[in-house]
Amino acid sequence: MRADRVFAYGAAAGLIGDLLLGDPRRGHPVAAFGRAAGAVERVLWRDHRGWGALHTAVCVGGAVGLGAVAENAVRPSRAASLALTAAATWAVVGGTSLVREARVIGRALEAGDVQAARERLPHLCGRDPQALDADGIARAVVESVAENTSDAVVGALVWGAVAGVPGLLGFRAVNTLDAMVGHRSVTYRRFGWASARLDDLAGWPGARLTAVLAALAGDSPRGAVRAWREDAPKHPSPNAGPVEASFAGALGVRLGGTLSYAGRVEHRPVLNRQGRAVATYDIERAVRLSRRVGLLALGVGVAARAFVKGRTA
């Protein structure tokens, strides 16, 4: 079986596994990586960019190396290669958990239980929930669905198409490290710099593909492109900006604005000013758009890998 077919069948099986099983409640491989990265951090932490870069290199290099060793070990067996790709895809994508959490919050809002929605929001994003009303929670959920469609689904598929199992594991390692040490706290401002910058680089292609596919799969392709072009450059994140702007335009809603993280208030640019305010029912619309984008990304990844392998055959 050719390598492009192994990726196609394996990635599809992994996405189906995520759809049917979601993330395991115990023993998740990403959680195991997080514990290992935390152990490395305890040894290497210094308030210095160089030590942070070493931490990033050790953790990401370890994940990529493990993927390469495993992929090489099973290469003689087509069935084992397919199973490994499926398992790696299932381990690194998080589309079903994203959808599940978004829908739990959406149902709470539909029932008028804003407090329950506030209590659940930290499972999805790092906003300060007590400062948000129902509309603010709905907006936070839609923004999180948009950003995590890129981080938890499309980005992984892009790097899987480029580099197989090492690409899948490497991308998830980078994304996890950014969540652990890439934020601008006193502890990690210098140590986490390398992880944050590497996450920006690794996420760049997936974010642009997500924005393109959201425009194609949404209700307003023209609105998505306009919001991406006009508003995304104003966003402080080079990757979240295009994704959230494209989702906003595709759904016909306004995203961005004032938000609060850990007691720190930020004033983000408004994305898609022509849109209306987010309503509770837009959560389900965002979820469905996210699902369509993920399926399209799989198709693009399979086609790209087949093209590359065909050219190098």
Question: What pLDDT band is residue 311 in, cutting at 50, 70 and 90?
Answer: low
How many percent of the chain have pLDDT more than 70? Answer: 96
Provide the CA 217 distance to its chain's centre, in angstroms. 18
Other Cβ atoms within 10 Å of 136 Cβ, number: 21
Encode pLDDT of 102-151 as tens digits: 999 999 999 999 999 999 999 898 888 888 899 999 999 999 999 999 99
* Rounded Cα–Cα distance for residues 56 and 49 (Å): 10
Q: Which residues contact 201 (CB under 8 A, 6 or more apart)?
A: none
* Rounded Cα–Cα distance for residues 249 and 270 (Å): 12
Task: Give the pLDDT score at 96.
Answer: 92
Encode pLDDT of 146-187 as tens digits: 999 999 999 999 999 999 999 999 999 999 999 999 987 889
Question: What pLDDT band is residue 310 in, cutting at 50, 70 and 90?
Answer: low
* Rounded Cα–Cα distance for residues 24 and 13 (Å): 16
Instruction: Please compute the mean of the pLDDT values over residues 25-46 and round it to a whole number.
Output: 92
Partners of 292 in beta bridges: none
Task: Give the pLDDT score at 137.
Answer: 95
Instruction: Please compute the mean of the pLDDT values over residues 21-45 and round it to a whole number.
Output: 90
Task: Give the pLDDT score at 183.
Answer: 84
Partners of 282 in beta bridges: none
Is residue 260 within 8 Å of residue 140, measured between CB atoms?
Answer: no
| Arithmetic mean of pLDDT over the chain | 93
How many percent of the chain have pLDDT more than 90? Answer: 81
Task: Give the pLDDT score at 257.
Answer: 87
Encode pLDDT of 176-225 as tens digits: 999 999 987 889 999 999 999 999 999 999 999 999 999 999 999 999 99
Task: Give the pLDDT score at 306.
Answer: 78
Question: What pLDDT band is residue 312 in, cutting at 50, 70 and 90?
Answer: low
